[in-house]
Chain A
């Protein structure tokens, strides 16, 4: 008996390894390899040929929808499905919700599994996505460009929707998300605290935005309010760590996050304009109007610990449930120049899966979301401004007639003040400029973190100091943004 036994053992082991490797390589679906650029037009044409654009109320099919488990999402989806099922009684709808934590990861994992084993029908047809996720999903080829559907369908036109929201849902030239609302930053206030500070509601000029000097004077008047338990109440609560609030202000001051230089996108964060902007925000801290970077979830305002809040419509019912006497005015102008008035807007919506098994029913649902009926159903929940343009100025539209805590005179106009001229989204602002799109997530994160660390770590006496103040953080996040772009471009 020679060492042939050991040899056989080794041979068996090697054969096993090779077999497993071949098996795993073969297990990869052929669809996964894409060595030539996909001809989008022809690929989508194949899908369009399977869609029935003449489908009407008698259409019968199935539809699978998925959202996350936020209570608001579930309420809105249920409101939509009530109407949708009445309109299309023969469509069977399966609605699932996945945990909010890792919602995106769950979907991307499922997509990876589908691309590897070819079972695309296990993925839902329609899923909720926010505007910030569109680029990420698109880089993974998970979204159907529905502008093609718009082209083929006579009964629907994206031009009826608010243009800036449609742009927010685009990557390149194609629209990948059906926006369901158009959200906007406004300034909420607690009427009780306002009274305690000795400011009347008329002083807030609810029909126009406050100028910067008016705003600062207002903050000064409200910084010494105490609540019922004798605790200090801050004048302002805001979540600066969010691009919808930070980017418009930076843009107003003339700064930008990225810029194109010789055909390459580079960071533009480390500029005097950014320093001015961050100085202004830090001043709010130092003058005692605001603690730190504000709080996520707006819990200071909700727990009656601040007078004002920079907030959005999407959380209105939550805020109103906590503050019975809530009022709203348009977002103030935080720049000296009246022409540099920009307000952050954004949306979320429902996307169709690129390899959806039921594209017809998915398109019917997306159209329903953007229709007057669907928009009114969503607005009835109280938290949404419609994305259908005609409903904006319609005095009888549902969203204008929602009573907030019994107050029929709630200032709904604050949400659309100077909508066409002042609205600004991060997508058309800086996200469009970032190439490749896989860098967008990290760049946004670096941008948002920069203000967080400036507010947290620069001390009062030297915050413009080159070595230890705001410039130090600006340099480091400037570098992070450049690195993020380089990594994504393969360097």
Chain B
């Protein structure tokens, strides 16, 4: 799985011929130089390797072991494949719930990725200019990201609450004062996820900052050359800005995919939502582990989630030919 490097054959001695020769001797030949470089590179990787083994490998392998058992947090009494069998049997309640959580997670992730990528890119473009006080404006756009997670959940709930007979949230109070009917926001199945995707507009600042950093990495000489050639704003946008910022856009897409598939923060603020609409996969896993105390099943679900995320990431990387790197 390579990050867009398509020309690995040069690294192997023998070049283009190597793949066609049936002879094994020349196929994977590592020069002395390659070995020396590799050794040096692995020295760089010592901290992360130690961290990987101690902090990541042990918990991961332990929970992988648990997924084949019925560990409940205190003891194990059965070992076998029953957790996985149960999840793939869609007539079982657990399997059905897992399927439902997959559905809501995918809907949310796709909507969120599209919404956030496009909007944060547009916002970054809009704020990438030398205007008076642009620094303050950028700061103001970034401010909502600085509100801690659980507080922002409580604030959004206070803003968007719907109640047929009691305190309504801020926006519904305004609507009622204007004589309009209340909007159901988080309380109805059809509007719950769109409202959640909308609240991510308050978090656009983070992606925007990164994109602004990426834009400033583009040498201004390119723009000047383009302007001299008579290119207008949109031509410059499509031929310079977008291609050269693709590494960061790609990073944003991959991280929002990985983070989105593991959305969990909504549970503390909104619970599982109307008719389990906010029962995302990570929330389902948490409930299975700490409410039903069926830790083994939760681990099995977690590894299925891992496989899904892994496959999707591999697909994303394979189809990342559109990313333009400076070293190609």
A and B touch in the complex (CB under 8 A): yes
Which residues on the A side are within 8 Å of B57 (C-beta)? Answer: 17, 20
Knowing A25-B65, A292-B166, A456-B164, say if A140 contacts B72 (CB, 8 Å).
yes
Q: A2 near B166 (CB under 8 angstroms)? A: no
Select from chain B the residue with minimum beta-carbon distance to A116: B62
Contact partner of B72 (CB less than 8 A), chosen from A139, A455, A476, is A139
Q: B53 near A16 (CB under 8 angstroms)? A: yes
Contact partner of A487 (CB less than 8 A), chosen from B30, B61, B94, is B94
Does A358 reach chain B (CB closer than 8 Å)?
Answer: no
Which residues on the A side are within 8 Å of B64 (C-beta)? Answer: 21
Contact partner of A34 (CB less than 8 A), chosen from B75, B97, B290, B292, is B75
Knowing A136-B293, A438-B294, say if A483 contacts B28 (CB, 8 Å).
no
Chain A proximity of B292: nearest CB distance (Å): 5
Kindly identify, within residues 109 to 134 of chain A, every residue whose CB is under 8 Å from any CB belonging to chain B.
Answer: 111-112, 115
Question: How many angstroms between the C-alpha atoms of A439 and B287 in the bound complex?
Answer: 12
Does B43 reach chain A (CB closer than 8 Å)?
Answer: no
Q: B76 near A24 (CB under 8 angstroms)? A: no
Q: A456 near B166 (CB under 8 angstroms)? A: yes
Q: A5 near B35 (CB under 8 angstroms)? A: yes
Question: How many angstroms between the C-alpha atoms of A1 and B86 in the bound complex?
Answer: 49
Q: A140 near B187 (CB under 8 angstroms)? A: no
Give the residue among A285, A438, A487, A491 with the most B Cβ atoms within 10 A.
A487
Q: B75 near A20 (CB under 8 angstroms)? A: no
Q: B61 near A3 (CB under 8 angstroms)? A: no
* Number of A-B contacts defined by CB within 8 Å: 115
Contact partner of B73 (CB less than 8 A), chosen from A108, A292, A483, is A108
Question: How many angstroms between the C-alpha atoms of A487 and B291 in the bound complex?
Answer: 11
Kindly identify, within residues 1 to 47 of chain A, every residue whose CB is under 8 Å from any CB belonging to chain B.
Answer: 1-3, 5-6, 16-17, 20-21, 23-25, 27-28, 31-35
Contact partner of B187 (CB less than 8 A), chosen from A3, A16, A442, A457, is A457
Q: How large is the interface on B (under 10, 10 to 19, 20 to 34, 35 or more residues)?
A: 35 or more
Does B24 reach chain A (CB closer than 8 Å)?
Answer: yes
Q: How many residues of chain A are within 8 Å of chain B by beta carbon?
A: 50
Which residues on the A side are within 8 Å of B24 (C-beta)? Answer: 2-3
Contact partner of A285 (CB less than 8 A), chosen from B165, B187, B288, B290, is B165
Question: How many angstroms between the C-alpha atoms of A450 and B62 in the bound complex?
Answer: 38
Does A87 reach chain B (CB closer than 8 Å)?
Answer: no
Knowing A108-B73, A438-B292, A490-B86, say if A21 contacts B65 (CB, 8 Å).
yes
Classify the interface of chain A: helix, strand, loop or mixed: helix
Contact partner of A139 (CB less than 8 A), chosen from B62, B97, B293, is B293
Which residues on the B side are within 8 Å of A115 (C-beta)? Answer: 74-75
Knowing A2-B28, A16-B53, A139-B293, say if A33 contacts B75 (CB, 8 Å).
yes
Question: How many angstroms between the C-alpha atoms of A35 and B53 in the bound complex?
Answer: 31
Which residues on the B side are within 8 Å of A31 (C-beta)? Answer: 75
Question: How many angstroms between the C-alpha atoms of A20 and B65 in the bound complex?
Answer: 12
Does B275 reach chain A (CB closer than 8 Å)?
Answer: yes
Does A291 reach chain B (CB closer than 8 Å)?
Answer: yes
Does A141 reach chain B (CB closer than 8 Å)?
Answer: yes
Kindly identify, within residues 266 to 285 of chain A, every residue whose CB is under 8 Å from any CB belonging to chain B.
Answer: 285
Q: A438 near B30 (CB under 8 angstroms)? A: no
Chain A proximity of B239: nearest CB distance (Å): 41
Chain A proximity of B24: nearest CB distance (Å): 7
Does A370 reach chain B (CB closer than 8 Å)?
Answer: no
Knowing A24-B61, A456-B163, say if A105 contacts B290 (CB, 8 Å).
yes
Q: A20 near B187 (CB under 8 angstroms)? A: no
Q: A292 near B72 (CB under 8 angstroms)? A: no
Classify the interface of chain B: helix, strand, loop or mixed: loop
Q: A459 near B165 (CB under 8 angstroms)? A: yes
Chain A proximity of B13: nearest CB distance (Å): 10
Q: B58 near A111 (CB under 8 angstroms)? A: no
Does B25 reach chain A (CB closer than 8 Å)?
Answer: yes
Which residues on the B side are within 8 Å of A487 (C-beta)? Answer: 93-94, 97, 288, 292, 294
Does A389 reach chain B (CB closer than 8 Å)?
Answer: no
Which residues on the B side are within 8 Å of A438 (C-beta)? Answer: 72, 292-294
Does B318 reach chain A (CB closer than 8 Å)?
Answer: no
Contact partner of A24 (CB less than 8 A), chosen from B62, B78, B292, is B62
Interface string of B21-53 (1 = CB under 8 A from A): 000110111100001000000000000000001
Does B191 reach chain A (CB closer than 8 Å)?
Answer: no
Q: B164 near A140 (CB under 8 angstroms)? A: no
Q: B74 near A292 (CB under 8 angstroms)? A: no
Kindly identify, within residues 60 to 89 of chain B, every residue whose CB is under 8 Å from any CB belonging to chain A.
Answer: 61-62, 64-65, 71-78, 86
Which residues on the B side are within 8 Å of A140 (C-beta)? Answer: 72-74, 293
Give the residue among A115, A139, A457 with the most B Cβ atoms within 10 A.
A457
Q: A455 near B165 (CB under 8 angstroms)? A: yes
Which residues on the B side are within 8 Å of A1 (C-beta)? Answer: 29-30
Which residues on the A side are within 8 Å of B165 (C-beta)? Answer: 285, 292, 455-456, 458-460
Question: How many angstroms between the C-alpha atoms of A293 and B165 in the bound complex?
Answer: 10
Chain A proximity of B120: nearest CB distance (Å): 33
Which residues on the B side are within 8 Å of A321 (C-beta)? Answer: none
Question: How many angstroms between the C-alpha atoms of A34 and B72 in the bound complex?
Answer: 12
Does A205 reach chain B (CB closer than 8 Å)?
Answer: no
Select from chain A the residue with minimum beta-carbon distance to B295: A112
Knowing A1-B30, A460-B165, say if A33 contacts B76 (CB, 8 Å).
yes
Does B19 reach chain A (CB closer than 8 Å)?
Answer: no
Interface string of B177-203 (1 = CB under 8 A from A): 000000000010000000000000000
Binding site for B on A (CB under 8 A): 1-3, 5-6, 16-17, 20-21, 23-25, 27-28, 31-35, 105, 108, 111-112, 115, 136, 139-142, 285, 291-293, 438-439, 441-442, 455-460, 476, 483, 486-488, 490-491
| Top 6 closest pairs, chain A to chain B, by CB | A292-B166, A3-B28, A140-B74, A486-B93, A24-B62, A34-B75
Some 14 contacts from A to B, beta carbons below 8 A apart, are A2-B25, A20-B57, A20-B61, A21-B64, A27-B58, A32-B74, A111-B74, A115-B75, A439-B292, A442-B292, A455-B165, A487-B93, A488-B292, A488-B294
A-B contacts besides A456-B163, A487-B97, 18 pairs, CB < 8 Å: A3-B27, A21-B64, A24-B58, A28-B62, A28-B65, A33-B75, A139-B293, A141-B75, A291-B166, A293-B166, A438-B293, A459-B165, A483-B97, A486-B93, A487-B94, A487-B294, A488-B294, A491-B92
Binding site for A on B (CB under 8 A): 24-25, 27-30, 35, 53, 57-58, 61-62, 64-65, 71-78, 86, 92-94, 97, 163-167, 187, 275, 288, 290-294
